[in-house]
Amino acid sequence: MHSTHVQKPDMGALALVLVLTVLPVVVFVLAASTGLHSYVRLAAAGIVALVVAVLFFTRPRWGAYFMVFYVYSALNFYVGGSLFAMAVMALILAGVAVGLAGGERWRLTDPVFLISTAIFALLGLQSMLWAHSIPSAVTGYSKYVKAMALVALIVQTVRTPSQLQWLARWIFIGAVATVVLGAANRVLGIERQLGAAQSMVGNLRFQGLHANANFAAASMTSAIPMGVYVIRSVKSNLLRATAILGVLTIVVAVFATYSRQAVFAMAFVALAVWFREVRNRKAYFAMFAVLTLGVFLTPRYYWVRLWTITEVLESAQQDWSIFLRVVAAERAWEMFKDNFFTGVGLRNFAYRSGDALFLRMPAHNIYLEIACGVGVFGLLAYLTMYYAAIRQLLAGMSERWRAQEEWMRYLSYYLMISLISCMISGIFANIEFSHFPWLLAATGLVIANLRLEYRAD
């Protein structure tokens, strides 16, 4: 006979499971019977906020991943304004500061980026002396400071190739999330109210959770190379199929914004991917199939709207949107020549161009906007910051990484493609201090640190 030993259950564990299972039901019943639903929801939200705050403070890298997802998914649609993002950023930066006080080294040390950042900061302050609207200049300067704070956060917290790989994945996941949540909002009737200056397409323009369709197109286009990288890097067929579906979703969503400017950045991304994958037949044909299917699923009106550009430029019958952009570019160029060295103050083009444009609007070109705002030296400093990131991404492409980290070459390439796509989108949209281009620029500075540490080892 074999004796069997029956293990007695852990009464403490059973009690904990019982409490966690029964307590929510008891709380719900009591709240329903006493009419305290709102207080219970408030308490639950407070507990969740406290847990998340402690998590981000003690694990700043997780907070950085959240900010990446937050930027690309545009979750500010639900929380409203920028106060939430500022609070989260302050909390994460406080955790970073504690680490620095504990002996961690400061990792943002690229001299080209730091010098150009300092020069632009000084010129931005100086330009306020000639600003017509000081509040607008201060707002622009604060956006610049927040963008640089995000760069510092990413560089300080992302310290290994695998962590950088996860950052790229969160970019892609965030872009897919804004499409899915934006589509869900449309189905449920939860729409962001657009301003009075709508285009003729009006509410038909898809924008995910973003406030502007052109901004949404630029952001989502910059996430497509990250999706291609995910397709290349995952080993599971299921994950690869999911990533392909995600890329297709983003492609269709970009075209559904009816943003004519998106075709330029999208064409660059497609050509860059094909150039990289020309020797990989599977990847080549997979990308071709995704783009073909995406074009097929694109609403017909997008192509109608796109083909009107030639007619608008050749005929006197002007499209109001393009007409205003052309006039804005001409006025910005004239204003830049008149204020070549000093500029007129950050975000002050709109306040100095009303006589030519009939309304206050930005230049719809980040380079003209910066040139008008802080002059030629400010523009050079601004472009140098991007140069500092791109040169490190190029170096990452040619670096001899360890055999198990050879994928860093591919990641460096696709990060560079994403950043350049943002710079192309900037020719047609005011995204000079938007978070997503600077988030991508920060990855180049991360790679600079990884290369130095790899060579030191």
- Domain boundaries defined on the chain: 60-193+201-456
pLDDT in tens, 38-60: 666 677 767 777 888 888 899 99
pLDDT digits (tens, 9 = 90+) for 134-151: 999 999 999 999 999 999
Q: What is the mean pLDDT of the chain?
A: 84
Per-residue tokens: 182 = 């934006």
pLDDT in tens, 67-76: 999 999 998 8
DSSP helix, strand, coil percent of the chain (3-state; round to 5): 75, 0, 25
**Chain center to CA of 259:** 18
pLDDT in tens, 273-286: 888 876 666 666 77
What pLDDT is stored for residue 197 in this prediction? Answer: 36
Considering only CA atoms, which of 369, 391, 415 is closest in space to residue 113? 391
Quickly list H helices, 35-79: 37-58, 60-73, 76-79
Structure tokens at 256: 């559904």
Percent of residues, the chain, with pLDDT higher than 90: 54
pTM here?
0.86
More confident residue, 418 or 275: 418
Exposure of 234 by Cβ count < 10 A (0-12 exposed, 13-18 middle, 19+ buried)? Answer: middle
| CA gap 96, 57 in Å, rounded | 8
pLDDT per position as a tens digit, 254-275: 988 888 888 899 999 988 988 8
Question: Rounded to whole angstroms, how far apart are CA atoms 24 and 31?
Answer: 10
SS3 label, residue 104: coil
CA–CA separation, 284 and 195 (whole Å): 41
